């Protein structure tokens, strides 16, 4: 089986590739080749199948999608996107990459299928940013997406298109709305959500971390390992029960900042907690207010998607996967 | 005030133009010109403002949107589309006209606004076909669109884009999800919904009409006059309370076929009812099963959109507007 991954050089993309190489197969079928697409060089893990190639390209540029799809991958993991802040600052580029780029991939699949039958599994990395306030206490599967960013709009539009292309039989699509990934390895970044990982990651490494919001702020989380699991599940489930609802909110852990800190205390003691420095940031606080804290991910649960059960597990995953504990 | 209308030659488009010409103003501002766009010649009613021109063109063709927007209309009524059945049969054309064409208009507005400030009211004719089954008993405003046709998908995508362009301040958009229009004047057509008008219109004219479904089938209706009212309301409301929810389900009358027939009996007696011929059509019955019968159009009600209160009123509107009674 041949697999195409866009955004293969990103944090989740790299972990997904590592997992596929370690597993050697997907849904019981041996993996014969991986095409790893990103605007940066995607690392190729040791032991990758012979027919593995990193390609440095912008998938949204004219003709690139057709070239990638001409190899008829059996599974496409479409993770590439520009992030929320970039899409908000660069309106045209956001639509070009996040929407038109995704459409170009779907169109390339449809047109390839006109030559001879071809209907790959198309796993699309979507986002909970398809939803916008006002939120109910817990967001059900049938809650209408009214995004409050261009990024969320572009992802919601792609979800609709993925469902329509699937309904018409051109692809077999599954959209995966990722929770906030925590604990992200590496350094703090400029995302407003960066502190959710920072207040755990830095103290676990004996370093200080700023906390810009109050303890009561609630959010929806899953580990990087769970995210990789979501993509593997999406690639292998029987999609026939999905009907026209092809994109699903992923399960996760609903936790407040206070609950995050309590889990950190359990894992690393008061000394770690003392490294969290409260630095009010009304700008970040305001953005975070526009995010929901709880989802009722019934459909994804029924389809077999699994996240951690609590924040203790999320910290444990980080200690195992990133700190070799 | 200058007004641009796409789809000005269609049934609702013509009635909207007639109403604007009769009113002479919109929201208290005198109408100085009407640009009437359609692929067929749009009729120009007597008494139209001097600066009125019908243009026969396909708005979705390259460059057309820019030309139309270069005149900086204050209000744009975007009604043009290919219908559900055509969009389902002609996949590429559906996306080209219903989605890309709408996007081209929005883009033309955005780019025109880069030359000097320009933010027209953009009224978009959307559809309840953005929703797909399974349906709750009554569909609330926050119910997620999962369309079961390409037409519904294209309209739902345009709704998302309209909201994003409005949020960014490029246009001032309002999307109007029309109920099934009843009683449509004219002849039966090939739409699966044609009989909803036919079983009233034909008997009112002393002619037979086939009824392909059972009395229990429930649907959501408004008159052509109410539809014109929706567009005028959409063009003149204060949009500031709308936030990121720019498209709204319009109010309507929820009625079963049995209730339609009871209203016909009240209006025209048993003789008219006897002209309805029951001819089971499993193909039509199956399509109609995928439609919802009741909506809770709270937001539109709050914003001042008004439909008829019952089917007696809907029949009366037809008698007044189409039969000169």
Q: Spelled out in words, what is the top-level CATH class assigned to the domain A2-178+223-249?
A: alpha beta
Q: Residue for token digits 């009871």?
A: B262
- Closest C-alpha to B312, from B259, B256, B250: B259
pLDDT tens digits along A76-85: 999 999 998 8
3-state secondary structure at position B131: coil
Per-residue pLDDT for A191 more than 90? Answer: no
B175: β partners: B124, B247
What pLDDT does B88 receive?
A: 92
Answer whether A146 sits within 8 Å of B91, measured CB to CB.
Answer: no
| Per-residue confidence band for A192, with pLDDT thresholds at 50, 70 and 90 | confident
pLDDT tens digits along B38-62: 999 999 999 999 999 999 999 999 9
Residues A22 and A39: beta-carbon distance below 8 Å:
no
pLDDT (average), residues B138-164? 97
pLDDT (average), residues B244-271? 97
pLDDT (average), residues A88-106? 97
Is B151 one of the catalytic residues?
yes
d(CA A246, CA A124) in angstroms, rounded, equals: 10
Mutate which: B90, B106, B164, vs A, most A CBs within 10 A: B164
CA triple A305-A73-A38, angle to 5 deg: 80
pLDDT tens digits along A236-282: 999 999 989 999 999 999 999 999 999 999 999 999 999 999 999 99
**Measuring CA to CA, how many Å separate B158 from each of A271, B48, B107?**
53, 31, 12
Answer whether A157 sits within 8 Å of B157, measured CB to CB.
Answer: yes
Of B118, B151, B165, B295, the active-site residue reads B151
What pLDDT does B283 receive?
A: 87
pLDDT (average), residues A172-178? 98
d(CA B179, CA B307) in angstroms, rounded, equals: 10
For residue B1, the distance in angstroms to the closest alpha carbon of chain A comes to: 30
Answer whether A160 sits within 8 Å of B156, measured CB to CB.
Answer: yes
Q: Which CATH architecture has domain B194-220+253-294+308-322?
A: Alpha-Beta Complex (3.90)
Residue B150, chain A, CB below 8 Å: the answer is: yes
Per-residue pLDDT for B103 more than 90? Answer: yes
Per-residue pLDDT for B288 more than 90? Answer: no
pLDDT tens digits along B110-150: 999 999 999 999 999 999 999 999 999 999 999 999 999 99
Per-residue pLDDT for A283 more than 90? Answer: no
Q: Which CATH architecture has domain B2-178+224-249?
A: 3-Layer(aba) Sandwich (3.40)
CA distance between the termini of chain B = 34
CA triple B16-B22-B25, angle to 5 deg: 85
CA triple A9-A10-A13, angle to 5 deg: 80
What pLDDT does A220 receive?
A: 97
pLDDT (average), residues B187-192? 86
| Per-residue confidence band for B290, with pLDDT thresholds at 50, 70 and 90 | confident
Q: Which residues, at least 6 apart from B271, have a Cβ–Cβ distance to it below 8 Å?
A: none
d(CA B174, CA B202) in angstroms, rounded, equals: 35
Structure tokens at A68: 């990638």
| Residues of chain B neighbouring A147 (CB-CB closer than 8 A) | 160, 163-164, 244
Angle subtended by helix axes B194-204 and B311-322, to nearest 10: 60
Structure tokens at A6: 């866009």
d(CA A64, CA A82) in angstroms, rounded, equals: 17
Per-residue pLDDT for B286 more than 90? Answer: no
| Per-residue confidence band for A190, with pLDDT thresholds at 50, 70 and 90 | confident
For residue A81, the distance in angstroms to the closest alpha carbon of chain B comes to: 18
Answer whether A245 sits within 8 Å of B148, measured CB to CB.
Answer: no
pLDDT tens digits along B68-101: 999 999 999 999 999 988 999 999 999 999 999 9
d(CA B82, CA B88) in angstroms, rounded, equals: 10
What pLDDT does A290 receive?
A: 83
Chain A, 261 to 280: residues with Cβ < 8 Å from chain B are none
Report the mean per-residue pLDDT for chain A.
96
Strand order of the β-sheet with A253-256 is A180-181, A218-222, A253-256
ipTM of the complex: 0.96
Cα radius of gyration (chain B): 19
* SS3 annotation, chain A: CEEEEECCCCHHHHHHHHHHHHHCEECCEECCEEEEEECCCCCCCCCCCCEEEEEECCCCCCCHHHHHHCCCCCEEEECCCCCHHHHHHCHHHHHHHHHHHHHHHHHHHHHHHHHCCCCCEEEEEEEHHHCCCCCCCCECCCECCCCCCHHHHHHHHHHHHHHHHHHCCCCEEEEEEECEECCCCCCCCCCCCHHHHHHHHHHHCCCCEEECCCCCCEEEEECHHHHHHHHHHHHHCCCHHHCCCCEEECCCEEEEHHHHHHHHHHHHHHHHHCCEEECCCHHHHHHHHCCCCCECCHHHHHCCCCCCCCHHHHHHHHHHHHCCC
Residue B144, chain A, CB below 8 Å: the answer is: yes
Residue A161, chain B, CB below 8 Å: the answer is: yes
**Closest partner CB to B146 (pick from A148, A161, A163):** A163
What pLDDT does B192 receive?
A: 86
pLDDT tens digits along A3-55: 999 999 999 999 999 999 999 999 999 999 999 999 999 999 999 999 999 99
Q: Where exactly are the structural domains of chain B?
A: 2-178+224-249, 194-220+253-294+308-322
Q: What is the pTM for the complete model shown?
A: 0.97
Report the mean per-residue pLDDT for chain B.
96
Q: Which residues, at least 6 apart from A195, have a Cβ–Cβ distance to it below 8 Å?
A: A188, A209, A210, A211, A212, A213, A284
| Residues of chain B neighbouring A244 (CB-CB closer than 8 A) | 132, 146-148
| Residues of chain A neighbouring B244 (CB-CB closer than 8 A) | 132, 146-148
Q: Which CATH architecture has domain A194-220+253-295+307-322?
A: Alpha-Beta Complex (3.90)
**Measuring CA to CA, how many Å separate B110 from each of A149, B53, B55, B104, B122?**
17, 24, 22, 10, 12
Q: Residue for token digits 């047109």?
A: A111
Q: Which residues, at least 6 apart from A36, have a Cβ–Cβ distance to it below 8 Å?
A: A5, A8, A9, A13, A17, A42, A44, A52, A53, A54, A55
Torsion of CA A132, A135, A139, A145, to 10 degrees: -30
Chain A, 163 to 192: residues with Cβ < 8 Å from chain B are 163-164, 167-168
């Amino acid at each position: 089986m041949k697999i195409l991954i866009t955004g293969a050089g990103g944090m989740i993309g790299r972990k997904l590739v590592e997992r596929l190489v370690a597993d050697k197969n997907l849904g019981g079928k041996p993996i014969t080749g991986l095409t790893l697409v990103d605007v940066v060089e995607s690392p190729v893990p040791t032991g990758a199948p012979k027919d593995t190639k990193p390609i440095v390209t912008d998938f949204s540029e004219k003709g690139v999608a057709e070239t990638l799809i001409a190899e008829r991958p059996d599974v496409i993991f479409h993770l590439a996107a520009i992030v929320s802040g970039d899409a908000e600052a660069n309106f045209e580029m956001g639509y070009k990459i996040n929407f038109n780029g995704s459409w170009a991939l779907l169109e390339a699949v449809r047109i390839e299928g006109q030559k001879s039958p071809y209907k790959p599994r198309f796993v699309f990395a979507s986002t909970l940013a398809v939803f916008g306030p006002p939120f109910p206490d817990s967001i059900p599967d049938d809650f209408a997406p009214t995004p409050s960013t261009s990024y969320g709009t572009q992802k919601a539009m792609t979800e609709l298109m993925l469902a329509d292309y699937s309904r018409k039989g051109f692809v077999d699509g599954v959209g995966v709305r990722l929770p906030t990934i925590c604990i992200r390895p590496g350094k703090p970044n400029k995302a407003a959500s960066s502190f959710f990982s920072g207040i755990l990651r830095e103290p676990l490494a004996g370093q200080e971390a700023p906390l810009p919001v109050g303890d009561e702020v609630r959010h929806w989380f899953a580990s990087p390992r769970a995210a990789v699991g979501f993509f593997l599940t999406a690639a292998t489930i029987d999609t026939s029960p999905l009907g026209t609802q092809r994109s699903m909110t992923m399960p996760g852990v609903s936790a407040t900042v206070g609950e995050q800190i309590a889990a950190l205390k359990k894992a690393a003691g008061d000394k770690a907690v003392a490294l969290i420095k409260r630095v009010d940031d009304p700008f970040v606080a305001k953005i975070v207010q526009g995010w929901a804290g709880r989802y009722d991910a019934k459909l994804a649960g029924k389809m077999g998607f699994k996240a951690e059960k609590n924040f203790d597990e999320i910290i444990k995953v980080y200690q195992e996967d990133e700190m070799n504990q």
